Amino acid sequence: MSSKGQVVMPNEMRKEFKEDEKFIIIKNEKQLILKSIKDFNENLKEDLIFAKRTEKAWKRYAKTGFIEMNSSDFIKILKKLQYNH
């Protein structure tokens, strides 16, 4: 961040946006989410659901950490869960 509070967005990330496009910034502790205003109202409900799920996941991670495994083991666990419900 510059001394004026400006943040640089890498070129490959700004290709989808137009010059002078307006954004909203959602702050969650030390996390910032940049959202185009044109999409904000249309996707607000989905964004809030995603933000809540992400927050819950980070809280679980802070308490217990994540488990690393390869994809085939992960799929086996998913299949077991599917059959149990």
**pLDDT tens track for 6-64:** 888 888 888 888 888 888 888 888 888 888 887 776 677 787 788 888 888 888 888 88
pLDDT of residue 85: 61
> Does a structural domain hold residue 1?
no
Burial-class residue 76 by CB neighbours within 10 Å (0-12, 13-18, 19+). Answer: exposed
pLDDT of residue 16: 84
> Does a structural domain hold residue 60?
yes
Which residue range forms the structural domain that includes residue 76?
11-84
> Does a structural domain hold residue 2?
no
Alpha-carbon gap, residue 70 to 82, rounded angstroms: 19
> Does a structural domain hold residue 3?
no
pLDDT of residue 48: 78
Alpha-carbon gap, residue 2 to 8, rounded angstroms: 9
Closest to 14 (Cα-Cα) out of 47, 39, 43, 36 = 36
Alpha-carbon gap, residue 78 to 34, rounded angstroms: 32
> Does a structural domain hold residue 65?
yes
Structural domain total, the chain: 1
> Does a structural domain hold residue 54?
yes
